[in-house]
Chain A
Amino acid sequence: MKMAMRQRQGVTILQPKGKITIGAGDVALRDAVHEALDAGAKNILINLRETTTMDSSGIGELVSAYTTVTNRGGKLRLLHLPPKVQDILQITQLVTVFDVYDDEDEAIGSFD
């Protein structure tokens, strides 16, 4: 999995490309979130458009990222869920936890 990171209007946007699965992508996601937080990020948007597979460990890392960011007084939101990831968030009832957006401008604006 490859991770792109950029800033826009005070929001750190992470865009993982590939699998967020046990032993590989899950660790990369964790490292990227901690790197962003260590650099002072408060608001993080994870764009999952290019995420091809997410297993239970990947979901676990998303949850960990959410609680870590929230506990530090920040906000974590999701953008562009692929249909299969959307299905998994429905099944796990985590759709009730995450704020999910389909439009980047709207997602960025939601952090104001």
Chain B
Amino acid sequence: MATLTPRVELAIGSRFENIDLVQVVVKVSLQQLRLDDDTSHWIGMAVREAVANAIKHGNRQDPDKKVEVTFGIVDGDVLIEVRDEGSGFDPAGLPDPLEPANLLKPGGRGIFFMRKFMDGIDYDFRPEGGTVVRLRKRLETSAPGETQEDGSK
């Protein structure tokens, strides 16, 4: 089994231009794992969406608030955590972007993309404030598909 050593951690200010920095770090880190290009691409896209949500909805683009990203291998899975300083949200309350009434809405696809691109997603809403989104990808899979919803905690 491929391993990623050491675990990667980074923190960025809540600016959209910093998303590219996170994606570059993720891409370079994934190169250690010798994943195929498709798998690396979809993981990178999921991380983009998670960080974008953390900046936009979690930290409300306050540049003084941090988004922390950790990235590593746990039990054979790629595990990425994205933490913000926001007040959280209700995952069950998110509209389905595939519903005909929502198809032409401009927003509401970020978490949908994460679910599609990864094998698992769960959320941790900390009582002191802040949200952690955990993205998991099994290393043996390569195509975007259905994601196991681990549920909110």
Contacts and interface: CB of A to CB of B under 8 A. Distances in A.
Contact of B16 (A22, A66, A67): A22
B119 to A, nearest CB: 15
Contacts of A64: 106
Contacts of A21: 19, 48, 52
A91 interface: yes
B56 A22 contact: yes
Contacts of B113: 55-56, 88, 91
B19 A94 contact: no
Contacts of A97: 103-104
Contacts of B19: 21-23
A84 B48 contact: no
Size bin of chain A's contact surface: 20 to 34
Contacts of A66: 104
Given A24-B16, A84-B41, A91 B48 contact: no
Contacts of B112: 56, 92
Nearest to B116: A91
Nearest to B48: A55
Contacts of B122: none
A92 B97 contact: yes
B134 to A, nearest CB: 19
A66 B105 CA distance: 11
A93 B49 contact: no
Given A63-B104, A92-B98, A56 B17 contact: no
Interface of B: 15-17, 19, 41, 45, 48-49, 52, 56, 97-98, 103-107, 109-110, 112-113, 116, 144
Question: Which 3 A-B pairs have CB atoms at the shortest separation, nearest pair first?
Answer: A23-B16, A60-B106, A56-B109
